[in-house]
Structure 1
Amino acid sequence: MITFFRSFFNSKIGVALSLIFVALIAVAFAASDVTGGASFGGVGSESVAQIGGEDIGTGEFSTTASNAFDQIRRQNPQLDMAAFDAQGGIDDVLEQMIGSYATATFAESIGLGASKRLVDSEIAGIQAFKGADGRFDETLFRNALAQQGLTEARVREDIRRGLLTDQLIIPATFGAKLSQQLALPYASLILEGREGQIAFVPSAAFAPKGNPTDAQLQKFFADNGARYRIPERRVLRFATFVTDRFRDQVKVSDAEIAALYKKRSAEFAATEKRDVEQLIVPTEAAAKAIAAKINGGASMAAAAKEAGLEPVDLGLQSRQDLAKSASVAVANAVFATAAGKVATPARSPLGWHVVRVDSVSSIAGRSLDQVRNVLENEIAQEKLRQTVSDFTADLEDRIADGASLADIAKDEKLELQVSPELLANGQAPGKPDFAPIGAYQAMLPIAFGLEEDSGPQLVEVQQGKEFAVFEVQEIKRAAPPPLASIRERVATDWALAQGLASARKLADGIAKSSRTPAALEKAVSGASVPLPGIEQIRTSRQTIMQQQGRVPPPVALLFSMAEGTTKVLEGPNRTGWFVVHLTKINRGDASKVPELMVATRQQLGQVTADEYGQQLMAAMKAEVKVQRNAAALQRVKDQLTGRNREN
């Protein structure tokens, strides 16, 4: 498989994008100009970047960015394209594509190649194109391309570029290692401990006492709108129906019951079962010897233990059960044996069976009248399933033919319901008590993947019991709510923001005069406003790592400071400033922990390999001369994020 893409960027979502690109290109569903030069957003054949003599067209780039966004959104349903762009996602997609083109162009310039046969083998190895027998299926391949709107030529070109890149990146990064001496200081950092003090200067202590004016609040809200932004919301219109509505259409005749009884007559006939224990040995002689001992009075367990075996209690078995699990010969021998006796040893593919019959149970047959209700219910359930299947298939055909949700509800006498404005996770910002239960759980994953003009959708709410047909009635793009609805919150934030500047002056003053713990304590106690008490911190990097990202920022700051220094750090949500003083560094020595050294060298070896890859990629981009079209890139971003619609 193609594994040439690595983490060549360090944005907030860069790692996820890298992994997604590997998956997308591996199955040939990414980086594809499906229109073959068709226009996009009115910019036609314009390119967003030129690499050597090749262009990345706006159509190709738009498709690839959309695919990458869709993949990430499956993991984070609340993400919208605007937020994806704000985090650098669209730019990262372009850099990935440029890297693919640049490495392939450079590879060709130095004589590397990827033959048609090699590309064929890559395609044949893609799991999505394999049939039930595990072999490449031409029909599956063609159908997959048609479903994605891809051409075979485009897919082959993507794979060819990937193979060329493999030939450059893999040799440059494979087997990268870090020496023992170079790894030692990094490993020792993990064992390092730090001691310090943390003080806090709250913004609230300096916040204005009065309320802000309307003009002040409006300006603050306009400047900080992103802080209050509500993700994209959707309003659903839907109707549900249960399968019980079709029960009156299901009729079961006496003839149908009689026919099913006849078909399953063996099941209802009188039968005999035997409670048995067995041993399986490799030879007939061994089986006869063990059987003789048991018939001579030895217990099954004792005879088995003497042979180094352990009997297995099979419980009640019918003749058919034994014939299926062992062999007909074993079944016949067992059912020719009385209770308390050992059957004549018989053979199966597993070996020779020594079977003791502990008891014999006779089960009386059941008449048609005795099982009528059971059979009638089975037939009714099967007919109901078929009726529901026919109805839903007809409903999907009507939807495909253009039937509206209102038409369907009217024809089927269904009650239409309208949801509140919903986020992708089912929360309703305007209704905190709303719970997305029932049909919502089935509709939401589909609803947030639909376009505004998509037709009605049919989903199964409870398997075989309840269905819903729905449509997206309205899409509300991500935006801040009206100021009036959150005025109190914004006013509080405004007050904190005003106090933040004054709190910073005090925090800076405390930090400047606090070169020792005693000096810090004196500065805090003598501050112009009452401050919270100083917190004493003593921890290690190992503890920090075990907390997996849940480390308070001022504690994390301790591990990036020089001993005896004091720094100031802004608290969350403008609540104030932390004054952090590092008193002591307790050095670690990883040379005494060999397993830590091994793990560190392995991890840093991968980091080294990634660095080699990044440097090689940068060099190849410079060699083939990459030109980016910022204006075209912005037009694609505007189209994808919907900014064109807003303007």
Structure 2
Amino acid sequence: MLNSLRSAAGTWVAKLLLILLVLSFAIWGISGQIAGGVGTHVVSAGDTNVSAQDYRLAYDRQILQLSQQFGTRITREQARAFGIDQQVLSQLVAGALLDEQAREMKLGLSRDRLAALTAEDPAFHGPDGRFDRNQFDFVLRQAGMRPEDYLNNREQVAVRQQIVEAVSDGLQAPDAFLRAVSLYRGEDRTVEYLTLPKTLVEPIEEPTEDVLKAYFEENKSAYAAPEYRKISYVKLEPEDIADPASISEEQAKEYYDANAERYTTAERRRIEQVVFASEDAARAALEKIRSGTNFEDIVAAEGKTMNDVLLGTFEKSRVADRAIADAAFSVAQGEVSDVVPGAFGSILLRVTEITPAVARPFGEVSQEIKDGLALDEAHRILLEVHDAYEDSRAGGETMAEAAAKQRLKVVTVEAVDRSGRDPQGTILTDLPQSNELLAEAFETETGIENPPLTIGSQGYVFYEVDGIDAARDRTFEEVRDRVETDWTAKEATTRLAAKASETEKAIRDGKPMADVAQELGLEIQTKRGLKRMADDADLGESGVAAAFGVAKDATGVVSAPNEGGQIVFKVTEVFEPVGAGAEAVPENQRNSFATGLANDLLDQLVARLQGQYPVTVNQPAIDQALSF
């Protein structure tokens, strides 16, 4: 209860920033009013009272804080579910008790000290790092607080802090406790174990009819049939109304001619380039090439390898330098270009490989174009089809009649439950907007035209419920095969668990695990360096927990994480961590433990104060405070 109170008391001044100031004020700085104050009191602790207005202020700020955490406005009903009303009440009761104790102890704060605390608050500092009255007024104005309200509540916080610090300031977790934590977390163990598979008790003999019927009666609810509904729906998306047959050959050819580049793989060239320090050097090299010198020799003379000068294989549009692109795509394969003024110097280019452009013929892409054009048209007219379908239904036509007019398909699901399974237990994966469709279909009645569901930004599902099969108990004859399967699996599990218990007892009573393993035809396995809280692949989380739940040389049984087996184990070694002690616990964790102990002390203080000062809670006043 006092966690937030103590935290606010220790950091209230540092966190006094704009709206967050109001949040801290609401939780920690709500002032109790001494008897004789004006207004209805929701809490009284001795002669200290908290008004309904103060309760509502703290309540609203708590909701604001929670809304900011969730990124959405928390409703009154959600706040009640979170217990916000009781949290605020507990905080205000604790604050009122501390105020009453401070009053009894005649604790106070001088005006000079109050001024110093206010001046120390960084929220009120100007650009020079000192207290600025204009900044003080601005911050309080943004928080909706008058200066006198701030000063009154700042004084109250400081007085409360005197009590809090007297109880918990400087408290540290004891070294003995920290060493115990270090030992607990750092310990590792060695475990020997046997994994008992189901094959030790299988095959299970075929049960009699009486046995199966008795099992069925004991577990009848597990075999009950859920409510099933017969649902018909019409899906309307662009793909559902696209009609490629309506696109003529001429339209497709016209589109092909206008967008020929879409169906053409551009020419690609493998380009090599040599960059020279000057245009004169490039021209001298070009003259040598024209006189018979190999391009490779020119490259070597520049101190480069052929890998160094390989630019790559590109389409013309992908060559970043336009001058290089124009030159490279204007020479023949194997030729060297004229000098090209590149971005980083004068360049000579050579093209060593050319992959010609390839255009897909119209006949090859004709259907693809028609499909695309039909889909574009479907997007354009989808709302018209939607409205026409709705008009037909409004005119009294059935779903089938309205769908037929728009050349839409009616799909009927004969039986489906709320989870989307058919009577055979198969999940229906092809239902459009499955979760929403099923949720809505199980909330409506038969024969009702329901509002359509939306699919993305351009799509609809029209649906109706044609029939309802109420939930019922199935007969034994309907589910006999399933009952037999379940009984056999349960019997195998029960027998294996009994076998594991028998095996564990034998080892616990002193029989060597090696002898037990030999009798069962199993192999002893060893797990070393096992750490607490680990999720071991062979033992699983529960197996690790069980191994750390017994002493050295003790035994145990746990279910195997895979394939329904049983594990019988024995803890053979326990190792304490090297250097276990208080210093082995990280500082942030030591601080966390200290905070927890301090909070416990503060909780005890408040509990004792509740016995010292009579506390009354005016629930009608709280209800009234929350009603406006």
Q: Using structure 2 for the length normalisation, give the TM-score.
A: 0.48
Which structure's CA Rg is the greater one?
2
Q: Using structure 1 for the length normalisation, give the TM-score.
A: 0.46
